[in-house]
């Protein structure tokens, strides 16, 4: 951990990770753009308002700022619609990344189309092939990336720092500018700036992932309750953002 922090502080120059904790998202993004653009990219699912808020903020700071989305091949139509709405609204090229066709073909040939419901191992295999591998492959060309992770989204995210070193992705700087924001603060920004968001949010989906692995939730349910609802709460991550300790089973 000391080695990770030493390498991180070397990246951060005159700032250190602790000092970043007290800075606003706009300050952090301005610093990130200045230091890393164009080798900086926003990772957005287009299935959560957090990513759209950060896209809006980054676009104001640098209109050429980059954004990518993983198209797993199992996304909702509403998510594809939002990708095009964002493209039109900001006149922005969205970098859509797909899994390797041969990996998906082999997986469904051997296990079937919806094997992820059967075991945790199958579910993690599907997320690894459709999400983790494409993201790792894509991020090789970058020095830093931005995410919309927030600490109160789930038990697996409660220790998320604003800046960290992503050891699993070759030591990239991972920037989580709104880690300390609440859902209410996110929606306030969406309203104030009229940021386009996924239309399924108004139909009971606080977070929209792949169509077969997301369902609407009821009033008072945990916001992540509709994701991989058949699993225990402590395994409900796709492998893109687990801490080092949690990532063992995914090999990242």
Tell me if 208 sits within 8 A of 80, measured CB to CB. Answer: no
Closest distance between ligand SF4 and the C-beta of residue 6, in Å? 35
Torsion sign over Cα 6, 12, 17, 19: positive
> Which of these, 204, 198, 192, lies nearest to 51 by C-alpha position?
198
Question: Of the residues 126, 210, 213, 238, which is catalytic?
Answer: 238
User: Whole-number minimum distance, CB 85 to ligand SF4, in Å?
Assistant: 22
Q: Under the rule (CB under 6 A), what is the footprint of ligand SF4?
A: 72, 74, 116, 123, 126-127, 130-131, 209-210, 212-213, 238
Residue in 104, 22, 97, 90 with CA at minimum distance from that of residue 62: 90
Q: Which residues contact 39 (CB under 8 A, 6 or more apart)?
A: 141, 142, 143, 144
- Between 118 and 188, CB nearer to ligand SF4: 118
Q: Is 188 in contact with 83 (CB distance < 8 Å)? A: no
- Is 238 known to be catalytic? yes
Which residue sits closest to ligand SF4, CB atoms considered?
210
**Is the Cβ of residue 110 or residue 184 nearer to ligand SF4 in the bound state?**
110
| Distance of closest approach, residue 123 Cβ to ligand SF4, in angstroms | 5
Nearer to ligand SF4, 38 or 204 (CB): 204
Query: Hey, which residues are catalytic here?
Result: 238
């Amino acid at each position: 951990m000391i080695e990770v922090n030493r390498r991180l502080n070397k990246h951060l120059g005159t700032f250190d990770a602790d000092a970043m904790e007290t800075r606003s998202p706009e300050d952090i993004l301005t610093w990130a753009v200045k230091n890393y653009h164009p080798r900086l990219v926003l990772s957005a699912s287009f299935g959560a308002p957090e990513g759209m808020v950060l896209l809006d903020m980054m676009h104001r700071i640098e209109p050429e700022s980059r954004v990518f989305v993983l198209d797993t091949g199992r996304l909702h139509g509403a998510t594809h619609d939002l990708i095009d709405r964002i493209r039109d609204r900001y006149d922005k090229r969205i970098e859509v990344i797909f899994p390797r066709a041969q990996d998906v073909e082999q997986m469904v040939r051997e296990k079937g189309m919806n094997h992820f419901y059967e075991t945790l191992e199958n579910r993690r295999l599907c997320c690894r092939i459709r999400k983790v591998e494409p993201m790792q492959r894509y991020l090789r060309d970058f020095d830093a990336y931005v995410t919309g992770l927030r600490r109160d989204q789930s038990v697996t995210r409660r220790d998320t720092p604003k800046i960290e070193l992503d050891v699993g992705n070759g030591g990239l700087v991972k920037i989580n500018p709104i880690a300390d924001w609440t859902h209410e603060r996110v929606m306030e920004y969406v309203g104030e700036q009229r940021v386009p968001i996924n239309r399924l949010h108004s139909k009971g989906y606080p977070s929209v992932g792949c169509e077969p692995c997301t369902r609407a939730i009821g009033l008072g349910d945990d916001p992540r309750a509709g994701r991989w609802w058949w699993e225990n709460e402590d395994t409900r991550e796709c492998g893109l953002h687990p801490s080092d300790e949690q990532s063992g089973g995914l090999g990242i």
